[in-house]
Chain A
Amino acid sequence: EDKVVQSPLSLVVHEGDTVTLNCSYEVTNFRSLLWYKQEKKAPTFLFMLTSSGIEKKSGRLSSILDKKELFSILNITATQTGDSAIYLCAFAAISSGSARQLTFGSGTQLTVLP
C-alpha cells in the first residue's frame, strides 16, 4: 500500500531558527512529490519535485528529493511567525489515465514563537 510519512508531527521553534521537515514515502509508480503550506484553511502550493538532487528554492524555503532513499526535506531558514502552519507532503503516482489524486501525509504542525 502506498503511503507517506511526515516527521516530526509537530515542532515549536523561535523566530530566526532554521527548521527541517521530513517526508518519506513508499509508492509504486512514483511521478512527483509536492509540498503544501496550510494556514488554517486552504493549502497553498509550495514545490513540486520530480528529479533527485535538484533543489527547489523560494525565498527562505527550499526542498530537495532523494528518489533512491525515498524521502524529501523542506528547509525553512530564518523562520518568522508567519511560517506557522501545517506543512503537507503528498505524492502523485503514474496511472493509466490522468493522475488519480495526490496521497497526503499527516502533516507537520510548525509553530514559530516570537
Chain B
Amino acid sequence: DGGITQSPKYLFRKEGQNVTLSCEQNLNHDAMYWYRQDPGQGLRLIYYSQIVNDFQKGDIAEGYSVSREKKESFPLTVTSAQKNPTAFYLCASRTGGSGANVLTFGAGSRLTVL
C-alpha cells in the first residue's frame, strides 16, 4: 500500500544535540511538507519542497533544516538552534499541480528534549 512513513515515532534528545527525522513516501508525490504540532496551536509549516533539490522555508523554519535529494525522501533536522523543539512533527505530501490541495500525512514523530 502507498503511504508516508515517518521514523522514529518517538525520540528523546538532550539539549544541544541535533536530531534528524525521516520521512519517506511511495506515492510518487511531487511536493512534500513538514509541519509542527503543539497543543492548541494546530499545524504550523516548517519547510516544504515542490521538486527534488529545491525547498522553501515555511512560517517557523528557524532552527530546522531539510534536504530533498530524492523524490521519495524529505528528512528534517532539528538543530540545537531550535529553542523549543519538543513537539509532534508531521510529514505530508501531495501530487503536483495547482488543483491538488489534499495532503496525505504520515503518522508523525514525537520529539522530546530532556
Check: B105 CB closer than 8 A to any chain A CB: yes
Asked whether A41 and B108 contact (CB < 8 A) given A97-B98, A99-B101, the answer is yes
Interface residues on B, range: 20 to 34
Chain A residues numbered 16-56 whose CB sits less than 8 Å from any CB in chain B: 31-32, 34, 41-45, 48
Cβ-Cβ contact count across A and B, 8 Å cutoff: 60
Q: How far is the CB of B59 from chain A (nearest CB, A)?
A: 9
Give Cα distance in the complex from A95 to B100, angstroms. Answer: 13
Check: B33 CB closer than 8 A to any chain A CB: yes
9 A-B residue pairs with Cβ-Cβ distance under 8 Å, sorted by A, are: A9-B40, A42-B106, A42-B108, A43-B105, A48-B101, A99-B98, A100-B56, A101-B45, A107-B42
In the complex, per-residue mask of B75-114: 1 if CB is within 8 Å of any chain A CB, else 0:
0000000000000001000001110111111111000000
Contact A101 B48 (CB under 8 A): yes
Contact A106 B101 (CB under 8 A): no
Give Cα distance in the complex from A98 to B96, angstroms. Answer: 7
Contact B42 A98 (CB under 8 A): no
- For A4, A104, A105, the residue with the greatest tally of chain B CB atoms inside 10 Å of its CB is A104
